[in-house]
Amino acid sequence: MLTSATHEIIKKADSIVRMCETRNPRQVAKELGIIVFDRSFSKQKGAYTVIMKNRYVFLKEDLHPVMADIVLWHEIGHDQFHRDKAVKNGAFKEFNIFDMQQNRMEYEANIFAAQASLDDDDVLECIEYGYDIQQTARALRSDINLVILKVDTLIQQGYRLRRMEHRNDFLKG
């Protein structure tokens, strides 16, 4: 059974994908008015902040394109669900990036990224074809841990699938 928070995240991600008619996170960010900059971070992969009512995402410039898309979706999730915290913090805020065990906001941003980037039917089709998690991630140009999060949300929605283990800090440093 879906928690109310997870249900809201799924609804919001689906609504944004429908509204923007794309799963391309750079296009979605542009349409939502989020300014994206590539930066030379040493450890973190991305960050979200609000400065003078302008919303910014900073992405590590040398990320693999698949990871860059995942990180951007994650940061768009922060924009949609945690903007008030970014505004409250004022300046550039480094969240405990992507550690879902320690931070509910990171978990929510990852659920948003999984829902926005991975179509339910595409994931279910891969499963129907007998793909394992690595094959599914490759076929869908994603990360195995994000696919596992997606499968978890499908299970919570009533699909009879096998639950899998994932790393909680897969996007960290």
* 93-152 tens-digit pLDDT: 444 444 444 588 888 999 999 999 999 999 999 999 999 999 999 999 999 999 999 999
How far apart are alpha carbons 86 and 41 in whole angstroms?
19
SS3 category, 120: helix
Average pLDDT, integer, range 81-98: 63
Of the two residues 91 and 150, the one the predictor is more confident about is 150
96 contacts 103 by C-beta, under 8 angstroms: yes
Residue 83: is its pLDDT beyond 50? Answer: yes
Query: How does 69-91 read in b/e, with b if 16+ C-beta sit within 10 Å?
Result: bbbbbbbbbbbbbbeeebeeeee
Taking 80 as the threshold, does the pLDDT of residue 72 lie above it? yes
Write the CA distances from 155 to 19, 67, 152, integer angstroms. 26, 24, 5
Residue 91 pLDDT greater than 50, yes or no: no
The H or E element spanning position 88 is helix 65-89
Digit-coded pLDDT (tens) for 5-48: 999 999 999 999 999 999 999 999 999 999 999 999 888 899 99
